Structure 1
Amino acid sequence: METYRTDEEQVEALKKWWADNGKSTVLGIVVAVAAVFGWQGWQKQQEGKLAEASASYQSLLEADSAAETDSSKVTTAQHLAETLKADYPGTTYAIFGAMYKAKYAAQINKWEEAEAELRWVLDQKPNDPLLLQAKVRLAHVLLAQKRYEDAQNILAGSELGSYAALIAETRGDILMAQGDKAGALAAYEQAKTELAALENASQNPLLEMKINDLQSAQDGAAEE
């Protein structure tokens, strides 16, 4: 770095530097400040949108609960589900919206619509709990259409964590629908084993009923 011997030389050097670089320096500062405030503004906007999405989701949960006893609330719930999916793309709330849209479509046997929504969810590559939940629901939708092989393929490689029991039970349901009682019983028993391995797992009376019915039928056939 050049060393200046007098104050006058330093002042002249500063003037020259400012003449050569002053405008670009000011512009750089302005751009930097604008970028900071722009980023902060974008963050606030995103926070605001997420707050809106959260409120809409809470309203959806309330409408969905009310629809269990008041069918007129289904229309409200459907609208809220569509709003979540359409207005908040790229968020988990959009995925929740699609899941509920699939639920309402399945309730009136619109299987193709339900399938489309659930496949959209899978395309978003959500985290494992949502991914596995969507796979199980899609398997049931395909089962309702008697597309057994497709249903089994959706569940392939999905034995993860707390969903292992539910997935095994769903496999049993598919096998049962195909008339494979022995295979269904084995899948249900696997589901029971997976469920027992979970901490604080809730009981599944329906699974027990499925196992007992198949075991009784098996025992009766053996006696004959």
Structure 2
Amino acid sequence: MAKHLDLEEQEQIDQIKHFWAQYGNLISWVLIVILGSFAAWNGWNYWQRSQGVKAAALYDEVDRAVLARDIERVERALADMQSSFGSTTFASQAALLAGKTLFDAGQVDKARAALTWASEKSGDASYKAVARLRLAALDVESKAFDQALKTLEVPVPKSFEPLVADRRGDVYMAQGKPDEARAQYQTAWQALGPRTEYRRLVEVKLAALGVDVASLSPTAR
């Protein structure tokens, strides 16, 4: 009986040896790939978390510089953010914040540079849209009306389309083209939700142009 069991065990061992000789290398490589991928995934997640923490800390530096009205510090912190963490949402937020601060400080060209960076480099379409809206406002301030309209030509997320139409209306108003402005304001008003606070501002603009919003399409209200 013992010999019979020994023979069965030997056969099983031989089968295992044969199987391993035939498929051992393949199995080893598969395990290496799986384990390597798992390690890489964990490493990537760790790197992402680490980058996020560092970017958040640098954004806080931009925010503190803004509160302190320290323009040089704002520029320095923003440059560090763009060079080291340009792909993060914190960089986009920092560029928008810095753009407003620089504009308020009379640094229009530097404000434009910050907003242009956000409009081109941000990985988030919403931040790009916000940056373009602000750039168009700067263009209107400098009476570069054609450039403002060109800035607003780039497609934006659907939720931003009413805001683009409203800003386009502002451009036409600044150009002395009330009919074109009215059409854009109407488009914006109709696209904005009835509970949207911004819609009231558009209503004021339409009223100034002699438009009673009650006369607009009831299906859009």
Same fold (TM over 0.5): yes
How far 1:76 sits from its partner (Å)?
A: 3.0
Instruction: Choose which of 174, 182, 186 in structure 2 pairs with 1:186.
Output: 182
Q: How do residues 32-111 of structure 1 correspond to structure 2 at under 5 angstroms?
A: 32-64=34-66, 66-67=67-68, 71=69, 73-111=70-108
- CA RMSD in angstroms, aligned pairs only: 3.8
Q: Matches of 1:135 and 1:111 in 2, distance apart?
A: 15
Which residue identity is paired with 1:161? S
SS at match of 2:197: coil
Q: Matches of 1:178 and 1:114 in 2, distance apart?
A: 23
Taking only the aligned residue pairs, the percentage that are identical comes to 22
Aligned length: 203
Q: 1:195 to 1:61 in 2, by over 3 A?
A: farther
TM-score (norm 2): 0.67
How far 1:107 sits from its partner (Å)?
A: 3.7
Which residue identity is paired with 2:48? Q
Q: Matches of 2:202 and 2:105 in 1, distance apart?
A: 23
Q: How do residues 136-155 of structure 1 correspond to structure 2 at under 5 angstroms?
A: 136-155=133-152
How far 1:91 sits from its partner (Å)?
A: 1.8
Q: Matches of 1:140 and 1:202 in 2, distance apart?
A: 17
* Structure-2 residue corresponding to 1:177: 174
Which residue identity is paired with 1:61? D
* Structure-1 residue corresponding to 2:197: 201
TM-score (norm 1): 0.66
* Structure-1 residue corresponding to 2:31: 29
* Structure-2 residue corresponding to 1:221: none
Which residue identity is paired with 1:186? R
Q: 1:133 to 1:76 in 2, by over 3 A?
A: same
Deviations 1:122-169 (CA, angstroms, capped at 9, x unpaired): 3346444323211211111222332211211222365943661x4344
How far 1:24 sits from its partner (Å)?
A: 6.1
The 8 Å contact of residues 82 and 101 in structure 1, kept in 2 or not, is answered as no
Q: Matches of 1:209 and 1:20 in 2, distance apart?
A: 79
The 8 Å contact of residues 172 and 184 in structure 1, kept in 2 or not, is answered as yes
